[in-house]
Structure 1
Amino acid sequence: MQNVMSPGPLLDARGHLVEAGWAPSEVKTYRRSAVKAPKFRLKEWDYYCVLTPEYGIALTVADNGYMGLLGVSWLDFTTPSEVTENVMLPFPMGKLGLPSSADSGDVVVSKGKARFEFRHVDGGRRLIVDYPAFDHGKGLHADLFLESPADDRIAIATPFPKAPRSFYYNQKVNCLPATGTVRVGSQQFAFAPEVAFGVLDWGRGVWTYDNTWYWGSASGLVNGERFGFNIGYGFGDTTAASENIVFVNGVAHKLDRLAFEIPRTYDGAPWNFTSNDGRFEMKFEPIIDRAAKFDVGVLRSIQHQVFGRFTGTVGLDDGTSVEVRDLLGFAEEVRNRW
């Protein structure tokens, strides 16, 4: 049994999680001022990934206490190739003003000539990025509208064993139809809602020092219906709930536990995903490994975010099965000491 959280504050007066578990909406209220850990331990980020069959973009605004980050990845699935560039922000410690809700409040951050805007507008979200220095001065400009239907999502509160003031409050919002353009250098790329879908990864929490996580996500059309999933594990105490879930036309179908079977060499060999109850059985064919390594003294991050296509079967709550073929998405392994 997985605990479904009830509405109320996320943290109590001691900075401890009031309740661990999951919900299909933002039922818990997060307040930065309620956190009782040092500011440099608190980590907040908004991450958007918007993909089409031929290309895609990933955008990050993160305040990790002693380090902030503005990140852009441009993905070309036909070549295939990717360009990732980050602007580092020293010791933001809350100065980025990231909102306390995934459903309200805007993100507007500038560093030098780079400017990121994640805004709530009527019917959805608008992502605007100006990054003149991107890819050796080619420059990147993005203006995308993500329609935000009143869908179910995964909102999950995870505690960490033996660290009562550590927690992770995370929301994943899948299957957001995208409209707009991205210009890279002199080339312009169109995003149309029939083929372009976005996901929001909204994270707020106090993490312990050494963690490895596994995350996978996909959004698109299957049998003419909006279909997506979020899968993952690897950190914290997930006894109360896993983050594994499937969405069909905005309705959530909760899954239990699953495992990532990853080739150790990241050489393009297929990945496999299997669940303890047989409801999620998937093969993943990699296209691009967006690998990154950051190692400075006590701070270390080794990332493999791999984009590719999922094929397999998913069992829904009513017992029916959905056949998935070549659904574009990503899966990752990230090891952090931070």
Structure 2
Amino acid sequence: MARNHEVSKRHPLLGTDGELVEPGWSRSLIQEYNRSMIKAHKWRIKEWDYYLVLSDSFAGAFTISDDGYIGLQSVSLLVFDGVPWEHTETVLNAFPMGKLSLPTSSSSGTTTYVDKRLQMKFEVTEGKRHISCHFDNFYKSKPFECDIILEQPSMDSMVIATPWNKKHAFYYNQKINTMRASGFMEYDGIRYEFNPRTDFGTLDWGRGVWTYDNTWYWGSGNADIDGNSFGFNIGYGFGNTKAATENVIFYNGKVHKLDDVEFHIPKDSYLSPWKFTSSDKRFEMDFIPVLDRAACLDYKLIVSDQHQVFGKMSGTAVLDDGTKISVKDIMCFAEKVHNRY
């Protein structure tokens, strides 16, 4: 059964009891996040800004996060041509617990992390997002640089407010897709230039209080299809989705809501072909993997097993009015992640 309650009126995200006022999905951050309203201990609060900027040939991913008892700041460079490869470099911080002062909204402000080795900034200006980064000794003793602009005209996003089956636990998340990308990344004498006609950025903005042990599935992609901006966000495993899922299609700045989407991941290898099906038959895709950005950490208390798989997707997406969009070989990603932290 579809679970698609849309929140349409502006109000505080949390009540005085620290619980979600209105679980559901919305097209913007109309539920107002206020860290001081959270009733859980501050070491359980998780806040992050994650950008992925993707072309057919390469990508960059950038994270600034405060996950309570650990901060995780990371940069990934991914190259798909030839023999695909990637490198992710991470800086860990002990017990940030709010010290990074991440903005309470994605629509304004600056998210910054600075130490002797890494300087990274996400700045929101009128109709644009600016990602800048310098990372010393990023890989093989060589630095990484980037300066990227994402265009964000007035557009819908995907926002979801989801409870967990535990007191004071919630997940508040926004995905902004189809932001046309320009600028560059530079590493080892190679300059990777983004073209706004074909390349896009996505923001994953999250705030909340999570339970300790979770497995989730998430997929996202963008493309220009005959001059029209197209994107999708699919996923599950993030808390109790009785009120709403986060499955949507983006088309020329408008959100089209989907029901349930299932990831069919091969048991033999993450690099074997996948399939995606939807309960409403509006998102039916084949996925040919190119690169598995796999990471496994085991610090006993903190365990993470991640497979973020990049590849090309083909199939059919159906808009709210029944219009069928033919998707052919768009570069995107889908992931399965198990975390205990």
Match in the other structure for 1:28: 31
Match in the other structure for 2:5: 3
4+ residue runs over 4 A deviation: none
**Quick check: 1:87–1:111 contact (8 Å CA) kept in 2?**
no
Matched, 1:85 2:89: yes
Unaligned 5+ runs, structure 1: none
- Secondary structure of 1:40's partner? helix
Counterparts in 2 of 1:111-130, with a 5 A limit?
111-130=115-134
Query: What is the TM-score when the length of structure 1 is the normalising length?
Result: 0.98
1:103 Cα offset (Å)? 0.6
1:299 Cα offset (Å)? 1.5
2:173 is aligned with what amino acid? N
- Secondary structure of 1:272's partner? strand
Aligned residues: 337
Matched, 1:238 2:227: no
Partner Cα separation in structure 2 for residue 267 and residue 228 of structure 1: 23
Match in the other structure for 2:297: 294
Counterparts in 2 of 1:156-167, with a 5 A limit?
156-161=160-165, 163-167=166-170
Moved more, 182-191 or 243-252: 182-191
1:182 corresponds to which of 180, 185, 197: 185
1:15 corresponds to which of 15, 18, 25: 18
Matched, 1:100 2:104: yes
**Quick check: 2:51–2:203 contact (8 Å CA) kept in 1?**
yes
Counterparts in 2 of 1:206-217, with a 5 A limit?
206-217=209-220
1:267 Cα offset (Å)? 4.6
Unaligned 5+ runs, structure 2: none
**Quick check: 2:270–2:309 contact (8 Å CA) kept in 1?**
no
Match in the other structure for 2:43: 40
**Quick check: 2:127–2:154 contact (8 Å CA) kept in 1?**
no
Partner Cα separation in structure 2 for residue 151 and residue 266 of structure 1: 37
Aligned CA-pair RMSD: 1.0
Matched, 1:51 2:54: yes
2:204 is aligned with what amino acid? D
> Per-residue displacement from partner, 1:311-338 (whole Å, max 9, x unpaired)?
0101110012111000111000000111
